[in-house]
Chain A
Amino acid sequence: MIVLKLLIYRLIRAMVLLWIVSLMIFTLIRLAPGDPVDYILGANDLAIGDTGTIELQKKQVRKNLGLDVTATQQYLNWIKRLALFDLGNSYRSGKSIVSELADRLPATLYLAGAAFLVQVSIALGFGIIASLNEDRWADHLIRLIGVLFVALPSFLLGLILLEIFAIRYPVYDMIGQVSFKRMWLPALTLGVLTSPPVMRLIRVNLIREYSRQYIVFGRSKGLGKKRLVGIHALGNGLLPILSVFGVNLAGLFSGSVIIESIFVLPGIGRYAVESIFARDYPAITGYVLLITFIVILLNLFVGLSYAFIDPRVRNTGYITK
């Protein structure tokens, strides 16, 4: 019952949030300098004719794109279409935004999912080792590695790994369909680079857990280190990190633009950047709505997982407050 209540509450909140985001993005992109019509007509690389003809051309293109009415009218038209799950058509390709995003989503989902696994594996592994070796050389070394990963720009690590695995020892396919052969290297790059903050958080949480009475009690009862750390300390220590995982996963969806560009992945991040440069309003709005939806979904999932994992939450419905 509590979970159902939580679901309904989150769903209503999600709808309101999506509407606010849609209004904000619709307004903001129109306030940004630059006109999509200029982009479309400027792309022919020729300044020819006279300003009168160009103005007529612009008028025609503006009409074709539905930009010849007031911003309010444009928003109302857009909302009407949105109610039918139609995000409009791209100014550049003329293709429906839903189908363009659907074409590009698999690459991003694959990348974000795989990178998340890499991130969690590295963070858990190094986090546990560092916590068990607090202030010893292993802890310092892991901290140093973490600092290095944080300081390394993603494009640099990406290019270095490409140089090694695509050119010197050609085991990575730079071209081809979205598959494990194409995704392992970008996922590794993204996962490695985003792991340090989580790694540090796991270390700190575990160290805090080790000093708790139930661990001291377990140790005095003769429980093994593996059981104490792997089940008891980790189980309790990971609870506060769940929400961080949720936020991180959302970040991986929206923040993999550079990785997608370097590794030639047709994902939504690259699509968003290209759309922003071209002032492709429907594409930008569609992308932002999709990312907002993913973030809402992930937060909902994290909230629900709290309810399932922690009996205190399940019984009190704390998370809905």
Chain B
Amino acid sequence: MKHFNYLAAILILACGIFLADNVMAAKPSSKPLVVASPMLTHTLDPAGFESASFMRGMGLAEGLMRITKEGKIVPELAESLTRISPTRWEIKIRPHVRFWSGKAVDAKAVYNSLERTRALNTHATPIIQKLSFRIKDKMSLIVETEVPNPAVPFLLAYFDLVIHNAESYGPELNLFDMKAMDLTGMFKMKEFKANETATLEANPDYWGEKPLTRKITWIEIADSQARAMALQSGQVDIATKISPESAIGLERLPHIRLIKRPPANTRTIYLNLKQPYFKEQKVRQALAWAVDRQAVVDLACEGLTRPATTWLSSNPAYPETQSHGYTHYDPRKASSLLDEAGWLQKSGGVRSKNGIPLRFTLMSWGSAKPVAEVLQSQWRKIGIDARVLHVDYGIISAKRKKGDWDASMEAWSTFGDAAALLAGQFSPNGPGNYGGYNNVETNRLFEQLSQEQDLQKRRELILRLDRQIIEQTPTIPLHPRPYLTAINRKVVGFEPHFRQFDRIITPGLYKK
């Protein structure tokens, strides 16, 4: 009996320890959450260079609208956004929201913030120039567009349009004045050392769901391998933008979780359509069919992303585009297209036509070198000689300006106002139309799209454009650029977002 009592006591004690341990484990740690990213916000002014998007990611700043991780546009500081006529929208401001300073976020404050952004933030120009604002009453604003524009919700969710207290910052850029910093986010900036660290503390007066984490230390670690090692050592809890090479080692570790959600961008090969061989549609199509995208993903990106069949197919709002375009690898079709175009191969060598070999230079930069090398070997199999030139982006930019180039790689964002983004890439005046693509039918569809106001019909037109463009293949889509975040398993509530900079910090995120 005595032994039984001892045993019972030990069992009760063990259960107690187990329960206490689990209860403790579920609670957020009092230690700060440590995040490492390759860059910190450049300045403390949301109108400053490369600052607003970082502030959004860090939970410091908010916009009128935001993009959810599913790709939906929802109100953030706006309570609602209603279209009241083809060119007019009404924004109702969420009541009881205050800046960190305690100043109310009302229509005047929002108006001043947007106008300050218009005056000082050159990044926001292509977005904000399409919109004009007017105060309707204390808590409502009217947004007007020159022409009917159903994409206003997207424009208001643009990452540079964060709402800040314009009075506090002043009429000029106020880049490093911590006292002037007055935003609405769930975290407040407590300390900031440019290019080094930022310390954030939870905003006790936050209007929304209160964050479970009280303090965050954000560290800039430029080198991906160093970020991975800092995470591995336990000195960092979340490491963003890990390179595929570093990620492979981390994936094997039991205390690390690798988040692999591909972002909404498409690594694409841009072809200079002024070069004689790229003028031929069959050659462009052959190049695209000869790309084994899965092999590119596996070999050059360690399998940490997925193939993209068209430029738009990395946009989660258009999942049907994944069945358009280059859905599989077809080297036979590629070879026959080249044969039809008169580019013939003799005894396994480089194809040629009228004595001119099918040879071009593919320029790559940043992390794209392995991708270029895999493509080189795949094209060689069908008799295309691609020479890889891995250079600094400045050289690519300069060569493109001169017209002295054949092919190069970029990975622009595909999420947002799809019509504007597609026009940016494929309309004759598009800033991303490097190759000079200009097609009558495509231009007609763009024109039709600009007139169309019905959302469903716009969607259908966008899908038609996507099919039309991929048929012509002015560019070759490859895959979303891998974006990897690695987190310690002690971290709970991390919500991967396809916009890699967006909402890294959420209210439910904490460290056990």
B125, A175: Cβ atoms under 8 Å?
no
Distance in angstroms between the alpha carbons of A52 and B129 in the assembled complex: 13
Contact of B175 among A33, A95, A261 (CB under 8 A): A95
Q: Is A53's CB within 8 Å of the partner chain B?
A: yes
Least CB distance, B447 to chain A, in whole angstroms: 14
* Contact assessment for A261 and B42 in the assembled complex, using a CB-CB cutoff below 8 Å: no
- How long is the Cα–Cα vector from A39 to B395 in the complex, in angstroms? 12
Nearest to B429 among chain A residues (CB) is: A50
Cα A127 to Cα B123 with chains together (Å)? 58
B residues less than 8 Å from A266 (CB atoms): 193, 195-196, 220
Whether the Cβ atoms of B194 and A53 lie closer than 8 Å is no
On whether the beta carbons of B129 and A261 are closer than 8 Å, the reply is no
Question: B434's closest neighbor in chain A, by CB?
Answer: A47
Give complex CA distance A274, B39 in Å: 11
A282 to chain B: closest CB distance in Å? 14
Identify which of B217, B394, B412 contacts A32 (C-beta below 8 A). Answer: B394
- CB neighbours of A91 from chain B (8 A): 49
Decide: B412 and A46 in contact? CB cutoff 8 A.
Answer: yes
Contact with A along B412-452 (1 / 0, CB 8 A): 11001100110111010111100000000000000000000
Asked if A166 contacts B412 (CB within 8 A), the reply is no
A264 touching B416, Cβ below 8 Å: no
Is B126 in contact with A167, judged by CB distance below 8 angstroms? no
Asked if B49 contacts A34 (CB within 8 A), the reply is no
B160 near A44: Cβ-Cβ < 8 Å: yes
Between-chain CB contacts (< 8 Å), 29 pairs:
A34-B394, A41-B122, A44-B160, A46-B421, A47-B412, A48-B417, A48-B421, A48-B424, A49-B125, A61-B122, A92-B42, A92-B50, A93-B43, A94-B173, A95-B175, A95-B176, A159-B225, A163-B229, A166-B229, A167-B233, A174-B229, A174-B233, A175-B197, A261-B223, A262-B223, A262-B225, A263-B226, A266-B193, A277-B393
- A interface footprint on B108-136 (CB within 8 Å = 1, 0 otherwise): 00000000000000110111010000000
Could you say which residues of chain A place their CB within 8 Å of the CB of B232?
Answer: 167
**Given A167-B232, A175-B219, CB of A49 within 8 Å of CB of B394:** no
**B427 / chain A contacts, CB cutoff of 8 Å:** 50
Most chain B CB inside 10 Å of its own CB: which residue of A45, A100, A170? A45
Q: Tell me, rounded to whole Å, the shortest Cβ–Cβ distance linking B497 to chain A.
A: 14
Q: Are A46 and B416 in contact (CB under 8 A)?
A: yes
Which residues in chain A, 141-164, are within 8 Å of chain B measured between CB atoms? Answer: 159, 162-163
Binary interface encoding of chain A residues 90-114 relative to chain B, with 1 for a CB under 8 A from any of its CBs, else 0: 0111110000100110000000000
* Cα–Cα, bound, A263→B36 (Å): 13
Is the interface on chain B under 10, 10 to 19, 20 to 34, or 35 or more residues?
A: 35 or more
Name the residue on A nearest B219 (C-beta). Answer: A175
Q: Is A40 in the interface zone, CB < 8 Å from B?
A: yes
CB contacts between A and B, total, < 8 Å = 161
Residue numbers in B under 8 Å from A52 (CB-CB): 429
With contact pairs A48-B416, A174-B230 given, residues A264 and B49 touching in the complex (Cβ less than 8 Å): no
Binding site for A on B (CB under 8 A): 34, 36, 42-43, 48-50, 122-123, 125-127, 129, 160, 173, 175-176, 193-197, 217, 219-223, 225-226, 229-230, 232-236, 265, 392-395, 397-399, 412-413, 416-417, 420-421, 423-425, 427, 429-432
User: Considering the chains assembled together, what is the distance between the CA atoms of A295 and B236 in angstroms?
Assistant: 37
With A and B bound together, what is the CA distance between A64 and B122 in angstroms? 10
Of B235, B394, B417, B432, which contacts A175 at CB under 8 A?
A: B235
Q: Are B222 and A261 in touch, CB under 8 angstroms? A: yes
Residues from chain A with a CB closer than 8 A to the CB of B196 are: 103, 266
> How far, in angstroms, from A92 to B420 measured CA to CA in the complex?
27
Question: B194, A95: Cβ atoms under 8 Å?
Answer: yes
B397 touches A175 (CB 8 A): no
Q: How far is the CA of A166 from the CA of B49 in the complex (A)?
A: 34
A54 interfacial by beta-carbon distance below 8 Å: yes
CA distance A261 to B227 in the complex (A): 10
- Residues of A14-73 at the interface with B, using a CB-CB cut-off of 8 Å, are 32-35, 38-54, 56-57, 60-61, 64
Q: Is the CB of B235 within 8 A of A174?
A: yes
Whether A92 and B49, one on each chain, are in contact in the complex, defined by CB atoms closer than 8 angstroms, is yes
A48 proximity list for chain B (CB < 8 A): 126-127, 416-417, 420-421, 424, 431
- Give Cα A46 to B395, complex, Å: 20
- Min Cβ gap A273→B in Å is 9
Assuming the A-B contacts A174-B226, A175-B236, are A60 and B43 also in contact, with contact meaning beta carbons closer than 8 angstroms in the complex?
no
Whether a CB of chain B sits under 8 angstroms from the CB of A270 is yes
User: Least Cβ distance of B200 to chain A in Å?
Assistant: 15
Most buried by A among B43, B127, B217, B397: B397
Which residue in A45, A54, A92, A166 is a CB contact (below 8 Å) of B413? A45
> Within 8 Å CB of A163, what residues of B?
229
Chain A nearest CB from B267 CB (Å) reads 13
- Do B226 and A93 touch across chains, with their CB atoms under 8 A apart? no
Q: Which residues of A contact B398 (CB under 8 A)?
A: 33-35
* CA–CA, A42 and B193, complex, Å: 25
**What would 7 more interface pairs be, CB under 8 Å, given A34-B394, A41-B122?**
A48-B420, A53-B126, A57-B125, A174-B236, A261-B226, A262-B226, A264-B222
Give Cα distance in the complex from A64 to B125, angstroms.
15
Are B49 and A35 in contact, with the CB atoms below 8 A? Answer: no
A213 to chain B, nearest CB (A): 55
- Evaluate whether A51 and B235 lie within 8 angstroms (CB atoms) in the complex, with A159-B229, A175-B34, A263-B226 already known: no
In the complex, what residues of A have CB within 8 A of residue B394's CB?
A: 32-35, 38-39, 279
Contact of A51 among B229, B236, B397, B431 (CB under 8 A): B431
Knowing A94-B48, A173-B235, A262-B223, the reply to whether A49 touches B173 (Cβ < 8 A) is no
Does B392 contact A264, Cβ atoms closer than 8 Å?
no
Note all chain A residues with C-beta closer than 8 A to B413: 45-46
CB distance from A157 to the nearest CB of B (A): 13
In the complex, the answer to whether A40 meets B194 with C-beta atoms within 8 Å is no
CB-defined contacts of A166 to chain B, threshold 8 Å: 229-230, 233, 235
Closest 7 CB pairs of A and B: A34-B394, A47-B432, A49-B126, A33-B398, A50-B429, A47-B424, A261-B223
> Which chain A residue has the least Cβ–Cβ distance from B45?
A94
* A44 and B123 contacting across the interface, CB-CB below 8 Å: yes
Q: CB-nearest residue of chain A relative to B39?
A: A274
The complex places the Cα of A174 from the Cα of B233 at a distance, in Å, of 9
Nearest residue, chain A, Cβ from B36? A175
Nearest-neighbour CB distance to chain A for B120, whole angstroms, equals: 10
Q: Do the beta carbons of B222 and A274 come within 8 Å of each other? A: yes
- Docked pose: A32 CA to B176 CA in angstroms: 31
CA–CA, A271 to B394, complex, Å? 18
Contacts of B397 in A (CB 8 A): 33-35, 38, 42
Q: Are A103 and B395 in contact (CB under 8 A)?
A: no
Q: Is the pair B129, A53 in contact by a Cβ cutoff of 8 Å?
A: yes
A92 vs B417: C-alpha distance in the bound complex, in angstroms?
Answer: 27
Q: How far is the CB of B92 from chain A (nearest CB, A)?
A: 27
Contact B48 A47 (CB under 8 A): no
CB of A264 within 8 A of CB of B219, answer yes
A174 to B220, CA, bound (A): 12
Task: Produce 1/0 per residue, A267-283, CB < 8 A to B.
Answer: 00011001001010000
**Residues of B contacting A174 with CB < 8 Å?**
226, 229-230, 233, 235-236
Contacts of B425 in A (CB 8 A): 47
Residues of A within 8 A of B412 (CB): 45-47
A52 to B428, CA, bound (A): 11
B122 touches A57 (CB 8 A): yes
Complex CA gap A86/B129 in Å reads: 35
Query: Which residues of the other chain, B, contact A277 by a CB distance below 8 angstroms?
Result: 392-393
